[in-house]
Structure 1
């Protein structure tokens, strides 16, 4: 069995908050897969047991508020005798742009109170699906930002992201995190631009002589014999002078 945990704060007041994107993702998995039972209160949270593909899975939304999420997760983990690698936590990530995501296993909490609590209860070696919500740009604005609702315009990327998480959740249940990430990327960015190749440069190579133009002969012309020099004085010279004069 795999435990898929969505992080958020309980109650209608927080339902649309950016901080609750983990709840939203788990709710979408529940809606999209009819094999899951109705939600019920257990492990200090709301749980639903079912199947993703052929594998059993438990969906969990802690009711302890974000900064005490580890109490709920630890209780469910101990009851089912699970290991940290059997647990996937879905949560909001300020350091990723909206609509972006990252899969990772283990690591620190990065200042996220939900992760801080979970790591304190079960250790840091669980799997994480980080869902980007963007950053307000100023640390002083973070609290109001994460506890603020998604804007109407955000639905253009939020709804497709949640739907594709649900469509490929069976890969999370079987521990195929890399395949899950690949499927999600292909679904959300099908027209991802390919790097254009540089045009081939035609020209002379350095250190080599330039090629001869087409049509130019490569055959060397035969050397012409040098004319024999005429003697300037002596009997032979006198004879030749008389011959040329016609004497």
Structure 2
């Protein structure tokens, strides 16, 4: 496995979205930056908020796109072009409807599950490109026609606490990828 060089937290830009379930990926990246005493700075050329941290002596770039979710691939493509990252060197962190709050799992490759941010990244990187993912459970509203309102609304406090707790656990497990390997990280998170 190639080392991960870019960690992307998917989100929608703007204050009206920052507390919504769809921004779980950004919550993860913000906490990761904070944990390493870095602040994310807006970079207009790279279409997002970026920072650089070091995980077990590996330099890692962080990105929260400032594009809307369904255009996330533009920011990821800008970063990969600028830094010459390969798709398999990217970890995309995103909200996952199929997991309850409090559950998170790593995955490599596979389908996008209808997630518009993932769809756009796959399209912009090349549909055959595989990248790593960290899927953070937000639950499901139960009906397909309620999904958009659900992901664009804040979770109740009890769910937000479970999401925050699994993000904290995921941060530790992400660091294990660099200190040990992905298999150890998966074993500890799942």
Q: 37, 47, 52: which is aligned to 2:50?
A: 47
Q: Give 1:157 deviation, angstroms.
A: 1.1
Figure out how many residues of one structure are paired with residues of the other and give that number.
184
> Is 1:14 matched with 2:30?
no
> CA 1:167/1:175 → structure 2, altered by over 3 Å: closer, same or farther?
closer
Question: Is 2:159 aligned against 1:154?
Answer: yes
- Once residues 125 and 90 of structure 1 are traced to their aligned partners in structure 2, the CA distance between those partners, rounded to angstroms, is 14
Higher relative contact order (CA 8 A, sep 6+): 2
Name whichever structure is richer in strand by fraction: 2
Q: What is residue 207 of structure 1 aligned with on the other side?
A: none
- The answer on whether the counterparts of 2:88 and 2:131 sit within 8 Å (CA) in structure 1 is yes
2:83 is equivalent to residue 80 of structure 1: yes
Alpha-carbon deviation of 1:88?
0.3
Partner of 2:168: 163
Q: Mark the CA change 1:85 to 1:173 in structure 2 (over 3 Å): closer, same or farther.
A: farther
Check 1:183–1:138 CA distance in 2 against 1; reply closer, same or farther (3 A cut): same
Output the aligned Cα RMSD: 1.7
TM-score w.r.t. the length of structure 2 is 0.90
The Cα of 1:173 is off from its aligned counterpart by 4.6
The Cα shift of 1:131 comes to 1.0
CA pair 173-79 structure 1, distance change in 2 beyond 3 A: farther
Distance 2:120 2:180 in 1: 23
Contact kept in structure 1, 2:173 and 2:186, CA below 8 Å: no
Structure-to-structure mapping, 1:207-226, within 5 angstroms: none
1:95 equivalenced with 2:86 (yes/no): no
1:40: how far off?
3.1
Contact 1:22/1:91 (8 A) holds in 2: yes
